[in-house]
Amino acid sequence: MSFLLDGKFGTKIFSLFEIYAVRMGKVKSTLPGRDGGLRLQGVDQTGGVYDTTITQTNGILRNYYDNYKVYSDKFIYDGSFIKLRQIIISYNIPVNGLKFAKLQSASISFVARNLATFYKQTKDFDPELLQLFDRYVHGMIDRRGFLDGAAKFAVGGMTAAAILQSMRGAYD
């Protein structure tokens, strides 16, 4: 049996996709306020107390999240990760009784890849998927290259094409 761990540390990722996902209410961070409204407290420009609750009525809550148009540190993430990339379990088949096959050795192996992520700082996406999408939108790989790479992130009935469509939604 053998296994392979992979990690990357110290990278920073800016997510334009995340900006659009927040603005459209597609991520968990936009759940506050959907049930009962979002209470905002603070001070206004004059220093006076500001205390209001915004609701989904007339799209006001959507407008609140849509105002995340500024490219800020809010959308810069630590791209560090540790993943279990591969496990190989092999069995050496005894070939002594198989002299007629003229084999010197034989084995059978079970190989599993991209099994688990032990550590990542991003909540709503895998840092490697975002890097792959960045390479695609900047012409470094073609659509087929993106789909081949995204296939390893497709779980729970989601396909690589569906991943691409959900990420491209911000650009169409």
Does the pTM surpass 0.95? The reply is no
87 or 116: which leads in pLDDT: 87
* Geometric angle at alpha carbon 55, from 51 and 56, rounded to 5°: 160
More confident residue, 50 or 35: 50
**Of all residues in the chain, what percent carry a pLDDT higher than 70?**
90
| Per-residue confidence (pLDDT) for residue 112, from 0 to 100 | 92
* 116 DSSP β-pair partners: 84
* Residues 106 and 135 reside in one and the same domain: no
Q: Say whether both 46 and 16 belong to one domain.
A: yes
Tell me, yes or no, whether 52 and 114 share the same domain: yes
- Nearest-angstrom CA–CA distance, 39 and 43: 13
> What's the whole-number average pLDDT of the chain?
81
- More confident site: 42 or 68: 42
- Same domain, yes or no: 74 and 140: no
Q: What is the pLDDT of residue 113?
A: 85
* pLDDT at position 88: 96
Average pLDDT over residues 156-163: 71
pLDDT of residue 168: 66
Counting the structural domains of the chain, the total is 2
Q: How far apart are CA 20 and CA 29, in angstroms?
A: 13
Sign of CA dihedral 128, 129, 130, 133: positive
- Shared domain check, 159 and 90: no
* pLDDT recorded at residue 124: 67
